[in-house]
Amino acid sequence: MLAHMTISNFAIVKNLEFELKPGMTTITGETGAGKSIAIDALGLCLGDRAEACMVRPNEDKAEISAAFSLLNNQAARRWLEDNELIDGDECILRRVITKEGRSRGFINGSPVPASQQKALGQLLINIHGQHAHQQLMRPDYQQQMLDQYAGHHQLMEKTRNHYQRWRQANNEYKRLVQNREENEAQKQLIQYQVKELNELALAEDEYAEIEEEHKRLSNSGELAVSSQNALSMLYDNEDCNALNMLQSACHEVANLGEIDANLSAIPQMLEEAIIQVQEASQELRSYLDNMDMDPQRLMYLEERLAKIMSLARKHYVMPEDLYSKHQELLKELENLDCSDERLEEIAENVENLRQKFLASAEKLSKSRQRYAKELDKKISDSMHQLSMENGVFKIDVQSDAEGMLSPLGFDTITFLVSTNPGQPLQPLGKVASGGELSRISLAIQVITAQKVETPSLIFDEVDVGISGPTAAIVGKMLRTLGESTQVMCVTHLPQVAGCGHQQMFVAKKSSAGQTETNMFPLTQEARVNELARLLGGSEITERTLANAKELLVAA
């Protein structure tokens, strides 16, 4: 529930701080005093749009904070845990707006976007505005009220997901059909390109291997001559070769180490050099013996390289990237496969998804019809209590699975009403007068609010157009609602104000060219005086005071 609020430099509020209690709290005050200003400020903490004009004149910024108790609100607690914003059994929402119109939001001290404040706010408090009876004439709002009462959150989410999957698949199918001719032309071109590459049958890393082999074969003559010359200098030349010279040198220095120790390592070094020359000579001879100088192989490699280079130029890639290009074209060809079999398969999948959506929408429709009947009776009974003895209310749920489908299903929801005997049921906006519409709207809001999971409800002058005995009934209805949830009600009716478990008073004062609004709780005596003011206007008499006391006793 909402436990505490602090408002600073917001509109005509300089500084305002107040605490709220469980039960029903009524908020009263003079016309124009700003009774709804706290609700407007709270809306900012709940993610409403911020504007520069909200900042009090000559101030740099406005700041609003609202503290909520989470003791009986598991949904909000889970949301905070999921978003790693939990901080004990209390949640503090804060919003700061600068005079330039920039704003920052915070949840438990952590900066968050307004969208997160709005998502959490829906789990903390529910605000019923003074213009709800106008919204009530909109078909989308009527459907929202019914679904809210029925608790269709999960069922609607499931229906919405099925609808989106079906629409995505259906759009993809339509795109494939529409682009079929274009795809077919593109497919033929890619098929031709793939055929050329298939005929080449270039393996991965083959180009590098071919290039290396071609380089070796095309230079085989130079390799053979140079290898033979090197072998002759190392070993084969009988008159002079490196091996004989090393052996002679090794013989000359063999005994020098006995004369001078500094020369003792040289014979071993020369012996190692002799071994290296012998091994190098053996390697050269083996290379020459196994050298392949096949001109046919060279011709084949040159032809294959020419094909690779030609196709690489054709596809605007480097020769070493031609294999990857081949694989890309194969995948693209697979994606462009618009065969009748594939289209039939896609069409079958689209129909399956459509049937899943229709099944979910049908389940939603049946649930709406069931809860519509339940609401029909409750709202009709509530209309009778609100001095509309002959009133009949009915929610008409028209289902059309072949008509306009939407993420919300295939139902058309219409609120119908008859306020006089013999009058047929007609759409709400065509039959009800302003006062009747206000009473019907209030009845719907009070009844649906009983099903809302949020632990706090605000009614902002929803009793407009109601007076007399009807106002007393409205007050009792709201007080009964306040027994199970926290209710805050901005009102101008003494019959409603007197039903509150506690009462707040809003006052506006002006001095030195500045206007300031304050709100504070009323004591029992001050509450009697305020109710007397609401009953009798500016002049408070013994009779109005007595009537005010009677209102409190009756409540």
Of residues 463 and 96, more confidently modeled: 96
Report the candidate in 357, 337, 187 with the shortest Cα–Cα distance to residue 349.
Answer: 357
248 assigned to some structural domain: yes
In tens, the pLDDT along 448-485 reads 777 766 678 888 876 776 777 788 888 888 888 888 88
Residues 165 and 352: their CA atoms lie apart, in Å, by 11
535 assigned to some structural domain: no
- List the strands of the sheet with 126-128, edge to edge: 126-128, 456-460, 486-490, 24-29, 502-511, 514-521
Report the candidate in 461, 525, 465 with the shortest Cα–Cα distance to residue 497.
Answer: 461
307 assigned to some structural domain: yes
397 assigned to some structural domain: no
Residue 339, pLDDT > 70, answer no
- What is the average pLDDT across 294-315? 86
Residues 111 and 104: their CA atoms lie apart, in Å, by 7
- Alpha carbon of 44 to those of 58, 103, 409: distances in Å? 20, 10, 32
Of residues 286 and 108, more confidently modeled: 108
174 assigned to some structural domain: no
Highest mean pLDDT out of 202-206, 353-357, 538-542: 353-357
pLDDT band at 166 (very low <50, low <70, confident <90, very high): very high
227 assigned to some structural domain: yes
Predicted local confidence at residue 507, as pLDDT:
87
H or E segment at 435? helix 434-449
Residue 340, pLDDT > 80, answer no
Report the candidate in 442, 464, 452 with the shortest Cα–Cα distance to residue 385.
Answer: 442
Neighbouring-strand partners of residue 20 = none
Predicted local confidence at residue 40, as pLDDT:
87
Task: Report the phi/psi class of residue 134: left, alpha or beta, with left for phi > 0 and alpha for psi in -120 to 50.
Answer: alpha
The parent domain of residue 333 ranges over 182-338
- What is the average pLDDT across 256-268? 81
- What is the average pLDDT across 232-238? 82
Predicted local confidence at residue 102, as pLDDT:
92
Helices (H) and strands (E) in the chain, counts: 21, 15
Predicted local confidence at residue 64, as pLDDT:
95
Instruction: Tally the domains of the chain.
Output: 1
275 assigned to some structural domain: yes
% the chain with pLDDT above 70: 94
Residue 366, pLDDT > 90, answer yes
Report the candidate in 333, 302, 306, 203 with the shortest Cα–Cα distance to residue 314.
Answer: 306
Contact 417, 392 (CB under 8 A): yes
Q: Tell me how far apart the 2 most distant CA atoms of the chain are, in Å.
A: 147
Residues 186 and 182: their CA atoms lie apart, in Å, by 6
Report the mean per-residue pLDDT for the chain: 86
By DSSP bridging, strand 502-511 and strand 24-29 are parallel
pLDDT band at 112 (very low <50, low <70, confident <90, very high): very high
- What is the average pLDDT across 185-202? 84
Predicted local confidence at residue 55, as pLDDT:
92
Predicted local confidence at residue 131, as pLDDT:
57
Residues 77 and 139: their CA atoms lie apart, in Å, by 33
- What is the average pLDDT across 140-158? 89
H or E segment at 96? strand 90-98
pLDDT band at 433 (very low <50, low <70, confident <90, very high): low
Predicted local confidence at residue 435, as pLDDT:
66
224 assigned to some structural domain: yes
SS3 5: strand
pLDDT band at 356 (very low <50, low <70, confident <90, very high): very high
pLDDT band at 98 (very low <50, low <70, confident <90, very high): very high
Residue 370, pLDDT > 90, answer yes
Q: How many beta carbons lie within 10 A of that of residue 421, not counting itself?
A: 8
